[in-house]
C-alpha cells in the first residue's frame, strides 16, 4: 500500500490541480463575451461525417474548448507532469486523451492517432508543444495528415485583455470580463505527392495567419 501511494501521489496531485483549473476556467468563461469567426469550416467536416485535425498553439490552449462544436477531440497530451494536469482539464470538458510526445511514447501515440483518423475521429494537437520552440510546427501533424489525408484546420483566439505567463510559450489567459474572438482557418489538405516538409510549412504559415487575424481584432 505504501508503495502504491508513493507512486500515485504525484498523479493524484496533478489530477486535483487539473480539476481546480477546470472550475476556474468555467467560472472565467461565464464572464467573457465570445465571438466565433469561421465556425462553419469545421462544421462542414462534421456535416460530412469527416474527422479533422484541429491545431492551435500551446500558448492558446486554454480556451478552444468553447469554440468547438464536434463530438469531442482526441487530444494529444504529453506524458510528463504538466500533461497530466492538462489532461485532467480536457477530460473534464469531455475530450479524450492520447498520451505521448517526441521524447516519450511518441511512436505508440502516433499509431493511435492514425487509427483514430481512419475512424473519422476529431484530433486536437498543439504542434509546438510540449516544450517548443514556440509557434514552430513540428513535423508530426504534417506526417499524420499526409498519411491519412485528414484535413488540418488551424484555430487561434485572442483577447481584448489578457495575462501572459513567463513560460517558454508566454501562455495566455483571458482577463475576466474581456472579449474573446476565435478564428478558424480554411482546411488544409496535402496535395498529391506533396512532401511532408512542404505541408508542415503550409500548416505553420496558416496557423500564424489565423493568429494574426485573431490578434488584429483587438489591435490598437
Query: Which residue has better confidence, 133 or 85?
Result: 133
Burial 125-157 (b: 16+ CB within 10 A, else e): bbbbbbeeeebebbebbbbbbbebebbbbbbbb
pLDDT in tens, 115-132: 999 999 999 999 998 888
Catalogue the long-range contacts made by 20-27 (C-beta closer than 8 Å, 24 or more residues apart): 21/85, 21/88, 21/89, 22/88, 22/89, 22/92, 22/93, 25/62, 25/63, 25/89
Top-tier CATH class for 2-216: alpha beta
Write the CA distances from 203 to 28, 62, 63, 166, integer angstroms.
30, 21, 20, 26
Q: Is the pLDDT reported for residue 5 higher than 50?
A: no
Catalogue the long-range contacts made by 127-133 (C-beta closer than 8 Å, 24 or more residues apart): 127/55, 127/57, 127/203, 127/204, 127/207, 128/57, 128/58, 128/169, 129/58, 129/61, 129/78, 129/101, 129/169, 130/58, 130/78, 130/80, 130/82, 130/83, 130/101, 131/168, 132/58, 132/168, 132/169
**191 prior amide bond cis, ω within 30:** no
- What is the arithmetic mean of pLDDT over 169-194? 96
Grid coordinates standing for 170? 508566454
| Pairing, β 172-174 against β 162-164 | antiparallel
Query: Which residue has better confidence, 139 or 16?
Result: 139
Domain residue ranges of the chain, discontinuous segments joined by +: 2-216
> What pLDDT shows up at residue 11?
58
- What is the arithmetic mean of pLDDT over 171-185? 97
> What pLDDT shows up at residue 2?
40
Neighbour count for residue 53 (Cβ, 10 Å):
29
Q: Is the pLDDT reported for residue 220 higher than 70?
A: no
| Strands (DSSP E) found in 106-189 | 123-125, 152-159, 162-164, 172-174, 179-184
Give me the count of residues in the chain. 220
Amino acid at each position: 500500500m505504501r508503495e502504491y501511494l508513493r507512486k500515485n501521489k504525484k498523479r493524484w496531485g496533478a489530477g486535483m490541480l487539473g480539476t481546480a483549473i477546470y472550475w476556474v476556467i468555467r467560472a472565467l468563461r461565464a464572464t467573457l463575451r465570445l465571438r466565433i469567426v469561421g465556425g462553419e469550416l469545421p462544421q462542414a467536416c462534421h456535416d460530412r461525417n469527416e474527422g479533422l485535425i484541429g491545431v492551435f498553439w500551446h500558448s492558446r490552449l486554454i480556451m478552444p474548448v468553447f469554440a468547438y462544436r464536434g463530438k469531442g477531440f482526441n487530444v494529444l497530451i504529453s506524458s510528463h507532469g504538466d500533461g497530466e494536469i492538462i489532461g485532467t482539464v480536457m477530460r473534464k470538458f469531455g475530450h479524450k486523451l492520447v498520451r505521448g510526445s517526441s521524447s516519450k511514447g511518441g511512436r505508440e501515440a502516433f499509431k493511435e492517432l492514425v487509427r483514430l483518423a481512419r475512424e473519422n475521429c476529431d484530433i486536437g494537437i498543439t504542434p509546438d508543444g510540449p516544450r517548443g520552440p514556440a509557434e514552430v510546427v513540428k513535423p508530426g501533424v504534417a506526417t499524420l495528415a499526409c498519411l491519412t489525408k485528414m484535413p488540418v484546420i488551424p484555430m487561434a483566439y485572442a483577447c481584448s485583455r489578457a495575462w501572459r505567463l513567463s513560460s517558454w510559450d508566454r501562455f495566455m489567459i483571458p482577463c475576466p470580463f474581456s472579449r474573446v474572438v476565435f478564428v478558424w482557418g480554411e482546411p488544409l489538405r496535402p496535395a498529391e505527392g506533396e512532401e511532408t516538409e512542404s505541408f508542415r510549412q503550409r500548416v505553420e504559415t496558416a496557423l500564424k495567419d489565423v493568429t494574426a487575424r485573431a490578434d488584429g481584432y483587438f489591435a490598437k
